Homo-oligomer: A and B are copies of this chain.
Amino acid sequence: MRYMRRLNKNMISLFFSPKTIAVIGATANPKKFGNAVTINILRTKDLASELYLITQNTKEILGIKCHKSILDVQKDVDLAIILVPARAVDGVIDECIEKHVKCVIIITAGFGEINQEGKKAEDLIAQKCKKAGIRVMGPNCVGIQNLDIGLNASFIQAAPRGNISMISQSGSFSCASFYAMDRENIGCSKFANIGNNIDVSFDEILDFYKEDANTKIICIYMETVEGGRKLLNTLKTIVPIKPVIILKGGRTSSGMKAASSHTGSIATNYKMLKTSIQQAGATLCENATDFITALKAFSFLPDAKGKRIGVLTNSGGSSVLFSDKLEEFNLTLAEYSDSLKQKIQPYLISLVKIQNPLDMIGVAAEQQFYEITKAMLEDSDIDIVVPCLVIPPFLEMKSDEHYRGMIRAWNETKRLKPLVPFVFFGENFIDLRELAKKEEAPVFFTPTEAAYAIKVLLDRMKLKI
């Protein structure tokens, strides 16, 4: 049994690091998914995996010789990616079995998600492959990615590279979240969309991500949950090691109805699921923005060691709205100690009242943000520092100077404490975004986003105490 589990893990690993790949249903027609997958795999010039293209329609695609059948390939094939029409899949699977292919991804749609007939067809395929010892992802999926080795075995864009590994029950949701990750300078190590998942399960991929050295954070987009108890047990083993961030589509009956047409499965009672996931210690997000915010928080910020939050700002309004959000999340502001007050006094003008949030008013520039952020980061009574900023459109201030000051303070204190830079509606300042990218530091753009980032860090801290 133990041997079988190890064997299974090795099989999952093979999906992500195949020595040989065959694309069955490759085509030169750029309006077909068989072309998209081929192009995506070829895009990485130095990819270690060997690629074979299988099609009956042409002899050559992009200078690569094509085979009529996978049986014509001389070498052993680790991974076959199938994109032929639904009616032809069964025949192709037979050939894969004959060829002793180890792993198969069936991208083709038109199975269990559309009707009973499709369900029967995919069940048959599952049985056949199981008997032959072939592991299957799909059908009705976009494929998988291993960004560490540059493998994009899917028809969507490669995720930006990073340390998140993702499982998604919606290909297009992954696609959208890759756009968001790109915008936020975070990215993926591995990605899998398992579609109707007739064989490989969430748990198996999660187990693989758990052991994977390049995976620091795991995230899941799910619509339906089968084997709920097993999944929760898996989560419980992972959460102490790596944060797991979950977004569930189909939380309401309308959403469930939409989801069931989409993946062809029955949705779950969300309230129960919510309780279980939270008990397992994973981060369950209530919307897509929170999902990306949680990924940002875990990607950029160190663990919180305590919950005392220090806020400094050049904008009263921002810190008011931010304080409101903190309280909505049951988070609390630190009390500034007398020694801190004395330390920061020299950098403040006389109009400023020294209290938390510290409103340094609009005149505060790079130096104030640097000095006060640093003093707070060095203060033993503060655990998390939040510089709130509205970029001043006056007094010849530069749009990135305040941010530069706070990040310098963070760098000089070795990024030991979480710094949550909140730049209110600063999305369109190119200089700021470029600096954040260069510094590999986060920026949060709304009060909700900044407060939620802290909430997920503190939820995780509680878990560890």
Contacts and interface: CB of A to CB of B under 8 A. Distances in A.
A30 interface: yes
B323 A173 contact: no
Nearest to A319: B258
Contact of A114 (B315, B353, B392, B427): B353
A270 to B, nearest CB: 9
Interface residues of A, number: 83
Interface in A275-295: 287-289, 292
Interface stretch (A9-17, A71-79, A179-187): A179-187
B249 A317 contact: yes
B263 A316 contact: yes
A412 to B, nearest CB: 27
Contacts of A254: 323-324, 326-327, 332-333
A333 B326 CA distance: 34
Contacts of A156: 393-394
A117 interface: no
Nearest to A170: B317
Central interface residue in A171, A183, A317, A392, by most chain B CB within 10 Å: A317
The complex is assembled from copies of this chain, and their number is 2
Contacts of A249: 317, 320-321, 324
Nearest to A388: B172
A395 B447 contact: no
B30 A289 contact: no
B316 A176 contact: no
Central interface residue in A30, A175, A250, A448, by most chain B CB within 10 Å: A175
A261 B362 CA distance: 15
Contact of A390 (B176, B183, B355, B446): B176
Interface stretch (A31-39, A47-55, A93-101, A228-236): A31-39
Nearest to A36: B394
